[in-house]
Structure 1
Amino acid sequence: MKKVQQGHGSGFNNFQADAQKVKLEPVAPLQVSANRWDRKAMQIDPDSPELVDRKIMALLNKLTMKKFDSISDQVIAWANKSEKEKDGRTLIQVIRLILKKAIDEATWSELYARLCRKMMEQISPKVQDDGIKNPEGKPIAGGQLFRKHLLNRCQEDFERGWAKEATAAVKASEDEAAKAANQQSGTEEVALYSDEYYAAQKAKRQGLGLIKFIGELFKLLMMTERIMHECVKKLLGNVENPEEEEIESLCILLTTVGANLDIPKARAHMDVYFSRMKELAKSPNVSSRLQFMLQDIIELRERKWIPRNAAAALGPDGGAVAGSGSGAPRPRLKVGDLSNFGKISKGQPMAFGPGSVFAGKKGVESKRESLSRTSSSSNMFSMLSQNTEAGTNNTAKGEALR
């Protein structure tokens, strides 16, 4: 051990001696630059849009059901900064950020819809936009202004044509992948996961997120039933050669709002919609994936809009009982009862796949009514702003916007 320490010390001394022999060039002192970082100079104006973006996005990232009251109050406080503005620019900015989060995170669209509902109810009545007035010529303020800006934003985002752009980009990417596969092996995966492919998938995800968010707004009485029916009619307008995004959007919309629309006074309309959907489920122009999606919605209505995983419920004795689905009810099973374990039930024959996909048409013509047929390039949410002025007074009076 002693020898090792001596060797280490001698090596260090040799290193110092070698370093002294090296001639080092003199280093110029650091100069203070004109655009140097200064903490005081980098402070953001509290009224600047950059600070609003940072604060609102930070709050929305923390928004959960447990923290809903505290976070939503802070968001409303930021939106109320428009009290000192005549154009409501801070309110518009907050709405834009909320809508962006809602369509990017469709799983939490219900939570963001609840935030919008609370904001519509609690926004300060002093917040107004001099550029937006009611039919009487008075500026719209408070919750009515919030609702109008929100609906306008929903319309503008859909009018950008996300569906067409997404479909075109995906098809172009798939065509490139097919060509590359014929030329060189291993390039198909590169083409499929190109920047255009990811951009198209993002646009599609955001478009479907917008559909779901609008449905959640309707469930919270921020949109009228007539708007929802017009949206469904637009999506069902082209039965002969439907677009993929139209069918997928229809399924998302009906999954979200079907139970709320299927009420006695609208039952005739719903019957016509589902007659059309049964036709689409058998159409050769519809892919198998979309046919199964349509069939799932048809069966969902047959179960009285009860999800399949919730069709079975627990009885008072803790046993599982059949839900509201069709067929003979199952006998109640007591917890721990293994008397029938291993026995095969000889009941109804087993059927594979959806049984009613290829069922014949019965009574379709008698129930059909005329639906407006539009091209796939039309905006199915173009009517959002048409009812904004008409529903403004009803919102303030709490008449459920119906």
Structure 2
Amino acid sequence: MTVTQELFSQMRSILKKLTPEKFEQLMKEVNELSINTKDRLEGIGNMVFEKAICEVKFTSTYAKMCHCLKEEEESQHLKEELGTKVIAHHRRAVGTMKFLSKLFKLDMVQDVVILGCVGTYLDTQSEEALECLCCLITTTGTVLDCENVKLKQILNEGKITSRVHFMLQDVMDLRQNNWVPRRHKQGPKTIIQVHEEAELEIRLGNMKVEQQLLSKMGQSTICTQLAQAEQDQSSISIELAQA
């Protein structure tokens, strides 16, 4: 195994372990790798790109990793490499666009690339293209305010499915609201958050069981008291009859 192959193997191992809460620790390991040639940088960029479009929930984490690999010369080359890769992966569009938009917001992709994609998708108007367009504009709209005249035209023509129609309408509503979402979407949950939520569900479940037991005990007590009252009333009736 060559030195470069060993480096790629180490990078794959790091990417497999990457989570939001482990980012700082794993980024230190990445910085220790000898990414000092064009081929190595391209290889690392390709690996991060592939992981990002396969694991859409963590695109912001992968974009942040690219941003940290920012020696000036390497960073510029990485921008060009990522831009080229995006154009070549149109069929993996939604994941690609989400990752691209995150990189753009971190100034890792030039605005000309975004505008080029927007223009291409508006001209194409396929289901896939319009879905990518919605994804792209939703994320980049706060920085790159795109005109929505043609979006209105597409909606009015009615040649799209209901799903894409609603996606386009959501984008227009978002723009009208100054790119502020009505409900802020949370980022990926950390392992600690997942554990805390699981513990909370268990506690709530236990509380529900206890309430059911208390309710049953209460009903049992009432039934006992009613039975005792009926017995007392019967005894009184017998005594009156004997008198």
Answer whether TM exceeds 0.5 for this pair. Answer: yes
Structure 1: unaligned runs, 5 residues or longer? 1-44, 124-142, 164-205, 263-269, 312-402
Partner of 1:257: 140
C-alpha distance after superposition, 1:172-193 (max 9, x if no partner): xxxxxxxxxxxxxxxxxxxxxx
Contact 1:248–1:290 at 8 Å: present in 2 too? yes
- CA-to-partner distance for each residue in 1:13-49, whole Å, 9 max, x for gaps? xxxxxxxxxxxxxxxxxxxxxxxxxxxxxxxx46151
Q: Is the 8 A contact 1:91 1:146 kept in 2?
A: no
1:247 equivalent to 2:130? Answer: yes
Is the helix fraction higher in 1 or 2?
2
Amino-acid identity (%) = 27
* Count of residues paired in the alignment: 185
Q: Once the two structures are superposed, what CA deviation does each residue of 1:262-316 show, in whole Å capped at 9, x if it has no partner? A: 3xxxxxxx3xx311101111223211111111001111112221222249xxxxx
Q: How does 1:1-400 map to 2 (within 5 A)?
A: 45=1, 47-49=3-5, 51-78=6-33, 80-82=34-36, 87-120=37-70, 123=71, 143-159=72-88, 162-163=90-91, 206-238=92-124, 242-262=125-145, 270=146, 273-310=147-184
SS state at 2:57 partner: helix
1:91 counterpart SS class? helix
Distance 2:75 2:183 in 1: 37
- Residue 211 of structure 1 aligns to a residue whose secondary structure is helix
In the alignment, residue 155 of structure 1 is paired with which amino acid?
T
Output the CA distance in 2 between the equivalents of 1:95 and 1:146: 10
Structure 2 CA distance for partners of 1:81 and 1:250, relative to 1, 3 Å: closer
| Letter in structure 2 aligned against 1:61 | K
Q: What is the rounded CA distance, in whole Å, between the counterparts of 2:48 and 2:100 in structure 1?
A: 13
The CA distance in 2 between the partners of 1:278 and 1:92, in whole Å, is 40
Q: Distance in 1 between matches of 2:69 and 2:180?
A: 31
Give the ranges of 4+ consecutive aligned residues of structure 1 lying more than 3 Å apart after TM superposition.
Answer: none
1:237 shift after superposition: 2.3
Contact 2:83 2:109 in 1 (8 A): no
Quote the Cα distance in structure 2 between the aligned partners of 1:299 and 1:77: 45
Relative to structure 1, is the Cα distance of residues 114 and 81 closer, same or farther in structure 2, using a 3 angstrom cutoff?
closer
- C-alpha separation in 1, matches of 2:112 and 2:42: 26
Contact 2:155 2:165 in 1 (8 A): yes
* Aligned AA (1:47): V
Stretch of structure 1 that moved more, 51-60 or 100-109: 51-60
CA displacement 1:153-180 (0-9 Å, x = unmatched): 44245325x43xxxxxxxxxxxxxxxxx
CA contact (8 A) 2:53 2:99 kept: yes
TM-score (norm 1): 0.43
Contact 1:251 1:297 in 2 (8 A): yes
For normalisation by structure 2, the TM-score amounts to 0.68
CA contact (8 A) 1:95 1:150 kept: no
Pair 224,48 (structure 1): closer, same or farther in 2 beyond 3 Å? closer
**Mapped contact 1:282–1:291 kept (Cα < 8 A):** no
Q: CA RMSD in A?
A: 2.3
Which AA in structure 2 matches 1:288?
S
- In 2: Cα distance, 1:207 partner to 1:301 partner: 22
